[in-house]
């Protein structure tokens, strides 16, 4: 530890968690857990105390996302990764089109490619650091892409592919790291789904989806078809979206959820709504992100990775460092000082920092982080 860099206390952020997910959990959320020790922690998710929490999450998110008529909030176990498989089993009728521009958007496309009862997906591939939306294609019944590609720090627009509605196709948007941090018009989607360990600052393991009536109808039709004699499709009970919806409507989940995750999520949704909802969260994340991008643009050793200014994510910020400054040494020196989870996405393999600036992160802490990075970079 001879060459440990010690950052002066006066420069340190108050909270050093900058992960892109799992992300900072606010003290108030942890206090909500402590307050729940005798109930509802350790009690049945089929009884009123836990169901009230699920109900509050569903109502709070309906308000937060200003749900259009007929849309509803469903949830279940397994995280966004499980929702991909659920979409393959219960939502895509025959063939989906994907925008693929990073690890996460590629994974959903890979799931669809491996489902033996689906036709090969049409994949519109973009280079890492850019986005590419799927384009209108004959025979496609679901268009899929990610609102925020967490592996590269790219945000993409959320609007239906022109002509897709006339075609009867659904729009399925992976909002795992974008939901709660980036603006959205839910009417442009049929499933806007996410996990709670990113902007909602809870733990992982749960998926949440805002569903249109068309998405629910599609799932009913697809699952009914799978029950017909000779059908090739297998809908494992765990991947049945209609079961998830039926349980969600009763403020329950198909199988046992982590009650702690629900409690922290409920607290966060109330906190966000109490501060002004989505508009407030969007503005706060944009402010934090702009602190980082403008610092990098001024810096002589740091540069925003994403060249297109409009595609630079306002919640997961990726910053390339000059080869003379070793990013993994910076990350490790920061970690020695209690500033954690600032490394770039491993598989992207760049000399890069990646900073999660979700609503829970204080913009003042982001400012402090830039000063700490400068302090470390000058002393490596
Ligand atoms: C984190 C993430 C996922 C995976 O979420 P899990 O909860 O681990 O399944 C999927 N998509 C995006 C865009 C993500 O950021």
- The set of long-range contacts for 191-196, using a CB threshold of 8 Å and a minimum separation of 24, is 191/83, 191/87, 191/91, 191/215, 192/65, 192/147, 192/158, 193/80, 193/83, 194/80, 195/21, 195/79, 195/80, 196/261, 196/264, 196/265, 196/268
With 60 as the cut, is the pLDDT of residue 207 above it? yes
Distance 104 CA to ligand 1 centre (A): 7
Averaged pLDDT for residues 163-184: 98
pLDDT of residue 1 exceeding 80, the answer is no
Any idea which fold 27-273 has? 3.40.640
Ranges of each domain in the chain: 17-25+278-378, 27-273
Residue 108 Cβ < 6 Å to ligand 1:
no
Confidence of residue 2 (pLDDT cuts 50, 70, 90): low
The encoded tokens of residue 109 equal: 């496309």
How confident is the model at residue 124, as a pLDDT? 98
With residue 76 as reference, give the H or E element that holds it. Answer: strand 72-77
Quick check: do 17-25+278-378 and 27-273 share a fold?
no
Give the mutation target among 102, 104, 173 for probing the ligand 1 site: most ligand atoms within 8 A of CB: 104
Pocket of ligand 1 contains residue 177 by CB under 6 Å: yes
Ligand 1 atom closest to residue 207's alpha carbon, by position in its atom list: 7
Query: Does residue 105 have its Cβ closer than 6 Å to ligand 1?
Result: no
- Atom of ligand 1 at shortest range from CA of 82: 9
Counting ligand 1 atoms within 8 A of each CB, the residue from 20, 78, 79 with the most, and so the one to mutate, is: 79
In the predicted model, what is the mean pLDDT of the chain?
Answer: 97
Residue owning the nearest CA to atom 7 of ligand 1: 79
Q: Are 187 and 213 in contact (CB under 8 A)?
A: no
- pLDDT tens, 29-88? 999 999 999 899 999 999 999 999 999 999 999 999 999 999 999 999 999 999 999 999
At 12-26, the pLDDT tens digits run: 999 999 999 999 999
Residue range 291-318: mean pLDDT, rounded: 98
What does residue 54 show for φ and ψ, rounded to 5 degrees? -60, -40
The per-residue pLDDT for range 246-265, each reduced to its tens digit, is 999 999 999 999 999 999 99
Q: What local confidence, expressed as pLDDT, does residue 219 receive?
A: 98
The C-alpha atoms of residue 57 and residue 59 are separated, in whole angstroms, by: 6
Any ligand 1 atom below 6 A from CB of 111: no
Kindly give the number of the ligand 1 atom that is closest to the alpha carbon of 147.
13
247 lines ligand 1 (CB under 6 A): no
Q: Is the pLDDT of residue 3 over 80?
A: no
% of the chain at pLDDT higher than 90: 99
CATH fit for domain 17-25+278-378, picks 1.10.760.10, 3.90.1150.10, 3.30.1280.10, 1.25.40.20: 3.90.1150.10
Model confidence at 203, pLDDT cuts 50, 70, 90, reads: very high
* 176 close to ligand 1 (CB < 6 Angstrom): yes
Ligand 1 contact via 343 beta carbon (within 6 Å): no
Protein residue whose Cα sits closest to atom 2 of ligand 1: 176
Q: What's the pLDDT tens digit per position in 111-164?
A: 999 999 999 999 999 999 999 999 999 999 999 999 999 999 999 999 999 999
- Confidence class of residue 217 from pLDDT cuts 50, 70 and 90? very high
Ligand 1 pocket: which of 75, 76, 81, 103 to mutate (most atoms within 8 A of CB): 81
pLDDT in tens, 340-352: 999 999 999 999 9
Model confidence pLDDT, tens digit, residues 272-286: 999 999 999 999 999
Predicted structure pTM score: 0.98
CA dist 131 and 286 (Å) reads 19
């Amino acid at each position: 530890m001879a060459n440990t860099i010690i950052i002066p206390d006066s420069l340190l952020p108050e909270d050093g968690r900058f992960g892109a997910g799992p992300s900072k959990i606010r003290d108030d959320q942890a206090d909500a857990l402590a307050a729940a020790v005798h109930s509802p922690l350790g009690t049945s998710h089929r009884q009123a105390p836990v169901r009230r929490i699920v109900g509050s999450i569903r109502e709070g998110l309906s308000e937060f996302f200003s749900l259009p008529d007929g849309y509803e909030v469903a949830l279940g176990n397994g995280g966004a990764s499980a929702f991909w498989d659920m979409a393959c089993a219960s939502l895509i009728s025959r063939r989906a089109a994907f925008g693929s521009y990073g690890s996460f958007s590629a994974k959903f496309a890979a799931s669809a490619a491996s489902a033996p009862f689906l036709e090969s997906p049409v994949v519109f591939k973009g280079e890492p650091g850019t986005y590419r939306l799927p384009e209108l294609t004959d025979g496609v019944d679901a268009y899929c892409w990610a609102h925020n590609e967490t592996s590269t720090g790219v945000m993409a627009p959320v609007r239906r592919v022109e002509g897709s509605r006339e075609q009867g196709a659904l729009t399925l948007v992976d909002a795992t790291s974008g939901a709660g941090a980036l603006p959205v018009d839910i009417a442009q989607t049929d499933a806007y789904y996410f996990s709670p360990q990113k902007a909602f600052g809870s733990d992982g393991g749960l998926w949440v989806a805002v569903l249109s009536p068309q998405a629910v109808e599609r799932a009913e039709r697809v699952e009914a078809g799978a029950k017909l004699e000779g059908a090739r499709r297998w809908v494992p009970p765990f991947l049945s979206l209609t079961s998830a919806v039926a349980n969600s409507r009763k403020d329950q989940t198909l199988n046992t959820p982590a009650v702690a995750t629900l409690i922290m999520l409920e607290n966060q949704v109330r906190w966000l709504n109490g501060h002004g909802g989505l508009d407030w969260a969007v503005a706060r994340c944009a402010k934090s992100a702009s602190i980082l991008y403008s610092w990098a643009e001024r810096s002589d050793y740091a540069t925003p990775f994403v060249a297109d200014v409009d595609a630079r994510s306002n919640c997961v910020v990726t910053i390339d460092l000059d080869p003379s400054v070793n990013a993994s040494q910076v990350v490790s020196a920061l970690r020695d000082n209690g500033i954690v989870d600032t490394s770039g996405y491993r598989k992207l393999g760049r000399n890069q920092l990646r900073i999660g600036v979700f609503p829970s992160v204080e913009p003042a802490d982001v400012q402090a982080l830039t000063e700490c990075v400068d302090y470390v970079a000058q002393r490596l």
